[in-house]
Amino acid sequence: MTDCIFCRIIRGEIPASYVYQDELVSAFMDIQPVNPGHLLIVPNTHASSLADLDSKLGPHIFQVAMRLAAGLRGSTVQCEGVNLYLADGKAAGQEVFHIHLHVIPRFSGDNKGAFFALRSRGHSDQKQDRDQIAASIRTSLLHNTIPEIRKE
């Protein structure tokens, strides 16, 4: 998949604010965050949907999500709770057909509701904001003794 946006990010052709990478998955800031600190966990090898995903990746992605949720809570990000969200298929709201898990920090008063629509993501930020937040999350992950943190 040469023109897939997430494959291009993983190949380094498009910049992203990374917080984590290992041999199987990468995690970086969503470009249109629901709240500041909104992360995406993306398999390093292209898989359009859950049906295409190597079965060993499901548990690994969830394990990384748990680490990132802890990382968010220990960072400067306003994070009192976390939503994990995955859209598998167009009817489910999937827009980027390289499967990914959203890790979304939540706080009381963020006005996103329990069953928020990702389409309501209204927070506009800049690459430098995302880089700054990503650096704080990476630091928090290091304090959680999580290995394989991608360096800038």
Catalytic center residues: 100
Question: Between vectors from CA 60 to CA 82 and to CA 84, what angle results, nearest 5°?
Answer: 20
First to last CA, the chain: 25
Residue that the structure tokens 């897939």 belong to: 4
DSSP H helices, 2-126, are 5-10, 57-73
Q: Which of 22, 31, 45, 46 binds Zn ion (CB under 5 A)?
A: 46
28 binds ligand 5GP (CB under 6 A): yes
Q: How many CA atoms lie within 13 A of 111 on its CB side?
A: 4
The neighbour count for residue 96, using CB atoms within 10 Å, is 13
Site string for Zn ion, 92-131 (x = CB under 5 A): ------x---------------------------------
Q: Which does 20 bind (CB under 5 to 8 A by kind): Zn ion, ligand 5GP, none?
A: none
70 binds Zn ion (CB under 5 A): no
| Stretch binding Zn ion (CB under 5 A), from 2-10, 18-26, 55-63, 138-146 | 2-10
Give bridge partners of residue 81 from the DSSP assignment: 106
Question: Directed axis angle between helix 57-73 and helix 127-143, to 10°?
Answer: 100
Contacts of 3 (CB under 8 A, 6+ apart): none
Q: Which does 98 bind (CB under 5 to 8 A by kind): ligand 5GP, Zn ion, none?
A: Zn ion
Smallest separation (angstroms) from ligand 5GP to the CB of 79: 17
Structure tokens at 147: 């290995």
**Rule CB under 5 A: which of 4-23 touch Zn ion?**
4, 6-7
3 binds ligand 5GP (CB under 6 A): no
- Write out the residues near ligand 5GP by the rule CB under 6 A: 5, 14, 16, 28-32, 87, 93-96, 118
- Write out the residues near Zn ion by the rule CB under 5 A: 1, 4, 6-7, 46, 98
